[in-house]
């Protein structure tokens, strides 16, 4: 167990780990750690940096200044905000798509919900528990004994809706359901909704193994013109893969007129905010190559605006 560290002790701990305070002074760092962020979070971004293995500096970070961690934290914040906006737009238009396709089927809208409750026996109770805590309490009170596909989507979490979406397309034959790419979208949406760091581990070992779906790999290679080797190397990184999946699905499902402002925000993050201190990363090949790969995805999917 690590001991509790005061802010001066946190600074000392970082210095002993080889983190420099040349761009941002120790006093500035103390102020930031006291008012704007906290040690455990900002230190997480150091995982993107290598450490000495053989010299007298063994275990210390190579070419890492505290200001670099602060900048990565800032970039991560802006990135999470735009990803959350993309996710909200996507969730809405996935509902629009499913209900539009539903209207062309012989489904009555109730049988599928009964099957869904059978598959997830605790779901009905979970929804009804929101009756005293949700802004949808009137809707829950009205429909709790007669849920149909068109009203239950208003009270579901994103994960619950994704499960219903997958069930609907398993019951009905549509060629463009995009079900195979929903898991990574769900992963990144949940990460940003819980304010988790995205850029804290862009070098291996990664948090999970990735098997990119054919549709995503094919589009990036055949239409975005990204080399196969780059796709194979970069799409095994969870945050990059999940962002690529979200960008792909967002481009397919959300109408162009509805995503123009979001695309402009994405480009602001990638062409202004990230590049503001790009010199910080001149000696970090992992961060430079990761940015280059993701920027090519952004350039492809944001080309309309």
Does residue 235 sit in helix, strand or coil?
Answer: coil
Q: How confident is the model at residue 55, as a pLDDT?
A: 82
What's the rounded Cα separation, in Å, for the pair 177 and 187? 18
DSSP 19: -
- Contacts made by residues 102-108, CB under 8 angstroms, sequence distance 24+: 102/149, 102/150, 102/168, 102/172, 105/172, 107/149, 107/168, 107/171, 107/172
**Which tokens hold the place of 134?**
């949700």
Three-state SS at 51:
strand
Average pLDDT over residues 57-81: 97
Residue-range domain boundaries for the chain: 17-70, 106-171
Is a pLDDT exceeding 80 seen at residue 304? no
Note whether 85 and 61 are within 8 A (CB): no
Q: Exposed, middle or buried, 148 (CB in 10 Å: 0-12/13-18/19+)? A: middle
Q: Are 276 and 107 in contact (CB under 8 A)?
A: no
pLDDT of residue 76: 97
pLDDT at 22: 97
245 burial (CB, 10 Å; 0-12 / 13-18 / 19+) is: buried
Whether the Cβ atoms of residue 140 and residue 134 lie closer than 8 Å to each other: yes
Query: Which comes out higher in pLDDT, residue 132 or 283?
Result: 283
Read off the pTM: 0.94
Average confidence (pLDDT) over 66-92 = 97
Which of 274, 296, 297 is CA-nearest to residue 76?
274
- Residues 242-269 have pLDDT tens digits of 999 999 999 999 999 999 999 999 999 9
Pair 81, 242: CB distance under 8 Å: no
Q: Residue 182: pLDDT above 90? A: yes
The tokens for 71 are 């900048």
Report the pLDDT averaged over residues 150-167. Answer: 95
* Closest to 204 measured CA to CA, from 284, 286, 296: 286
Confidence (pLDDT) at 109: 97
pLDDT of 132 reads 79
Element (H, E) at 4: none
d(CA 279, CA 52): 22
Percent of the chain surpassing pLDDT 90: 86
Q: What is the pLDDT of residue 100?
A: 97
Q: Tell me what the pLDDT averaged over the chain comes to.
A: 94
pLDDT, tens digit, 9 for 90 and up, residues 102-127: 999 999 999 999 999 999 999 999 99
Helix, strand or coil for residue 43? helix
pLDDT band (50, 70, 90) for residue 131: confident
Torsion on CA atoms 55, 56, 62, 63, rounded to nearest 10: -120
> Is 205's pLDDT higher than 90?
no
Over 70: is that where the pLDDT of 305 sits? no
């Amino acid at each position: 167990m690590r001991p509790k560290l005061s802010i001066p002790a946190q600074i000392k701990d970082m210095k002993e780990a080889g983190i420099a305070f040349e761009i941002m002074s120790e006093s500035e760092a103390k102020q930031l750690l006291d008012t704007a962020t906290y040690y455990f979070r900002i230190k997480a971004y150091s995982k993107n940096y290598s450490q000495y293995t053989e010299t007298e500096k063994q275990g210390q970070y190579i070419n890492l200044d505290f200001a670099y961690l602060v900048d990565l934290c800032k970039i991560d914040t802006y990135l999470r905000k735009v990803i959350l906006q993309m996710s909200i737009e996507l969730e809405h238009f996935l509902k629009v798509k499913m209900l539009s396709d539903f209207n062309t089927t012989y489904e009555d809208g109730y049988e599928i919900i009964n099957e869904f409750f059978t598959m997830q026996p605790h779901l009905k109770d979970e929804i009804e528990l929101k009756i005293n805590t949700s802004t949808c309490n009137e809707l829950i009170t009205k429909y709790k004994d007669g849920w149909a596909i068109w009203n239950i989507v208003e009270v579901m979490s994103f994960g619950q809706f994704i499960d219903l979406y997958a069930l609907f397309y398993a019951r009905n034959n549509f060629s463009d359901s995009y079900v195979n790419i929903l898991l990574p979208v769900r992963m990144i949406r949940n990460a940003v909704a819980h304010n988790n760091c995205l850029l804290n581990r862009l070098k291996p070992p990664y948090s999970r193994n990735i098997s990119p779906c054919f549709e995503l790999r094919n589009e990036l290679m055949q239409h975005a013109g990204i080399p196969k080797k780059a796709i194979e190397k970069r799409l095994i990184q969870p945050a990059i893969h999940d962002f690529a999946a979200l960008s792909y699905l967002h481009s397919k499902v959300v109408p162009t007129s509805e995503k123009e402002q979001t695309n402009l925000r994405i480009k602001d993050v990638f062409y202004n905010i990230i590049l503001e201190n790009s010199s910080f990363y001149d000696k970090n090949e992992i961060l430079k190559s990761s940015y280059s790969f993701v920027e090519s995805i952004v350039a492809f999917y944001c080309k309309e605006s």
